Amino acid sequence: MSLWTNVKRVSRYGFIGFIRNGLVSVAAVFILIIALFFQANLMISNAAMTQTLEELKQKVGITAYFQPTATEDQVMATKQALEALPEVALVTYTSRDQALADFRERHANDQLTLQALDELGENPLGASLDVQAKEPSQYETIATFLDARQTEGTSGIDKVNYSDNRLAIERLGAIIDSSQKNGITKEIILGICALIIVFNTIRLTIYTARDEIGVMNLVGAGHWYVRGPFLVGGMFYGLIAAVIVLVLMYPILRFYPVLIGLDPTAEILFGSFDSFGYYIDNFVLFFFSIVGAGIGLGVVSSYLSVRRYLKM
Amino acid sequence: MILFDNVTKFYFDDAPPAVEGVTLSIKPGEFVSIVGHSGAGKTTLLKMLFAEVFPTQGSVFFGDHEIPRLSTRELLKLRRNIGTVFQDFRLLPTKNVYENIAFALEVAGKSDEDIQADVPHVLDLVGLGEKIWSFPHELSGGEQQRVAIARALVNQPDVLIADEPTGNLDPINAHDVVEILKRINDLGTTVLLTTHNKAVVDSVGRRVVTMDQGKVVRDDPHGTYVL
């Protein structure tokens, strides 16, 4: 008998079993839906956290303010020295003129300040360099470097604002560190819980068929012939649950993200993160992850559950 | 053809053996009724033949094969060559009559065409041609047992084992089942039957092996039910 004939028969029995054990199948699919929603939620939360942290990282930085008398060459020398540091990701130069223009724009509605500025007659603002580090923990090194240059007295640096931002920078570093560690721990623990629940549900569905497995053994069916329909059944559970989750994610993320744990406070915390847009843009990733996880969970759980009842 | 060679079976170390020192030889084409009280060791003896349990001492031979020494693959092949019928029918509950019987043919590697031809034929043989698309729960006990017999027969096994096949049946259905077993035996299949039912044994009128406390206490070539 050909392999193809066997595959055909096993698939047919798997499908028939799935349909005829309607209630049991619905229960298994339901539990898998919950597990897969959980996975989708984790994927979105992780993306939201990563993006928010990236944005925060960019917002934090060190600014070196130069004296108004500092020459452009002095500023550029410091800029080049900073760029040579391995810890530095980006140095942005703001010229004196630009600083003045920014100041005027910021105070466009404050006539008093603008008048005072005009009365000064000359630009009182110095140039500045905004420095961004690759990692929040590296600001300390950069600040030390800038402080040293300031002390030398030849660089023209008037003030380094690290000490002002120090607390915020250190806290951000700690938050990023702990949220990444917590995220991984949370994922592992909840992932194991989901796995155990799914496995036990599928084990129950197969427990109800244990006599049937015994009869199949008795008439001389090979192990793979007995196991096959249950693996196909597990595949159906996973596939159907995955498709339902992928479809339901659309309206949920669009209108009601709280349903899968993305509550409004999370939205506020994550600021501008657009979970719906992220889902649509990364649909292929979601499709393969959710379908893969669904089928994988269904098939592996079925395999392990049937093994118990295969005698000999 | 079948030889139980001084077999003993202990299920638990601290309990008496279920079967003790049984030596029994069965020739091809025989109809052997094994009788005895509950716990006499009848079922254990039969289970050793289709390798559901293995002897603690001694051995069991089927033709040239020593059953305890067979590999898993060879044991599965052996089971396809032994038809089994039980008191509780043991049908596949989520499969209809056709699928229950087809399953036995499929595991034996039969083609779809053969299966489509053989299933209705064997169902006619047990008088259930009209119930081909019914599910087990839609059948009476007698009908379920006839499906089980059809499944046991469809691969034309050398041996048919019937373990208390009439235990759950009324006298009329029990009589029908015994008649079917006799007919199968007349066609050349060896039949091993265990039963408590005196009327069944007496109506068969062939070899009767009596067991008591795990031992064979009587082996009568044309016996009746005597305990």
Per the listing, tokens 């800029």 go with: A79
User: What angle in degrees, to the nearest 10, is found between the helix axes of A223-255 and A3-20?
Assistant: 50
Tell me what the mean pLDDT of segment B150-179 comes to.
90
Phi, psi of B204, rounded to the nearest 5 degrees:
-75, -45
Helices A283-307 and A22-59 meet at what angle, rounded to 10? Answer: 140
Write down the pTM of the prediction. 0.74
Q: Do A220 and B52 touch (CB under 8 A)?
A: no
Distance from CA of B196 to the nearest CA of A (A): 23
**Per-residue pLDDT reduced to its tens digit, B76-102:** 889 988 999 988 889 998 899 999 999
Q: So what's the pLDDT on residue A154?
A: 77
Contact A220 B94 (CB under 8 A): no
How large is the C-alpha radius of gyration of chain B?
Answer: 17
* Beta carbons of B104 and A215 less than 8 Å apart: no
Q: How many residues does chain A have?
A: 312
What ranges in chain B are assigned the alpha helix state H? Answer: 42-49, 72-80, 97-107, 112-125, 141-153, 171-186, 198-204
What digits encode the pLDDT tens for the residues A65-109? 998 888 888 888 888 988 888 888 889 899 888 888 888 888 888
Give the dihedral sign, CA A153/A154/A158/A164.
negative
**Helix axes B112-125 and B141-153, enclosed angle (nearest 10):** 130
Cα A29 to Cα A41, A206, A265: the distances in Å are 18, 14, 31
Q: What is the distance in angstroms between the Cα of B107 and the nearest Cα belonging to chain A?
A: 5
* DSSP at A127: P
> A39, A30, A28: which is closest to A285 by C-alpha?
A39
When mean pLDDT is compared over A35-39, A174-178, B129-133, the highest value belongs to: B129-133
Contact A312 B111 (CB under 8 A): no
Which pairs from A264-273 meet CB under 8 Å and 24+ separation?
Answer: A266/A45, A266/A48, A269/A52, A270/A48, A270/A49, A270/A51, A270/A52, A271/A52, A271/A55, A272/A55, A273/A47, A273/A48, A273/A51, A273/A52
Predicted confidence band at B196 (pLDDT cuts at 50, 70, 90)? confident
Residues B168, B88 contacting (CB under 8 angstroms): yes
Cβ neighbours of A9 in B, within 8 Å: 106
Q: Return the structure tokens found at B58.
A: 């001694």
Per residue in A203-221, pLDDT tens?
A: 888 888 888 898 888 888 8
Q: How many CB pairs under 8 A join A and B?
A: 60
A→B interface, C-beta within 8 Å: 1, 5, 9, 16-17, 20-21, 209, 211-212, 214-223, 225, 311-312
pLDDT digits (tens, 9 = 90+) for A246-278: 999 988 888 776 665 555 445 555 556 788 888
The predicted complex's ipTM stands at 0.83
Structural domains of chain A sorted by starting position, each given as residue range(s) with its CATH number in brackets: 3-56+173-307 (no CATH), 60-164 (3.30.70.3040)
CA distance B25 to B158: 15
pLDDT of residue A260: 56
For A145-199, write each residue's pLDDT tens digit. 888 888 887 778 888 887 666 677 677 767 767 777 777 787 788 778 888 988 8
Residues of A in contact with B78 (CB under 8 A): 220
Angle in degrees, CA B92, B95, B98, rounded to 5:
110
3-state secondary structure of A48: helix
**Are residues A212 and B92, on separate chains, in Cβ contact within 8 Å?**
yes
The C-alpha of A299 sits at a distance from chain B's nearest C-alpha, in angstroms, of 21
Q: Are B36 and B210 in contact (CB under 8 A)?
A: yes
What's the pLDDT at B144? Answer: 94
* pLDDT bracket for residue B16 (50, 70, 90): very high
Q: Taking the CA atoms of B191, B196, B201 and B207 in sequence, report the sign of the dihedral they define.
A: positive
Which chain A residues are Cβ-neighbours of B75 within 8 angstroms? 312
- Closest CA–CA distance from residue A6 to any residue of chain B (Å): 9
Which residue of chain A is at minimal alpha-carbon distance from B68?
Answer: A312
The pLDDT tens digits for B93-128 are 889 999 999 999 998 889 999 999 999 999 998 888
- In this prediction, residue B143 has a pLDDT band, given cuts at 50, 70 and 90, of very high
- pLDDT, position A109: 85
Which pair of tokens denotes residue A152?
């030398």
B22: its two tokens = 């049984």
Q: Which residues, listed in sequence order, are joined to residue A90 by a DSSP beta bridge?
A: A132
Q: Which of B72, B107, B111 sits opposite A219 (nearest CB)?
A: B107
CA B225 from chain center: how many Å?
19
CB A305 within 8 Å of CB A206: yes
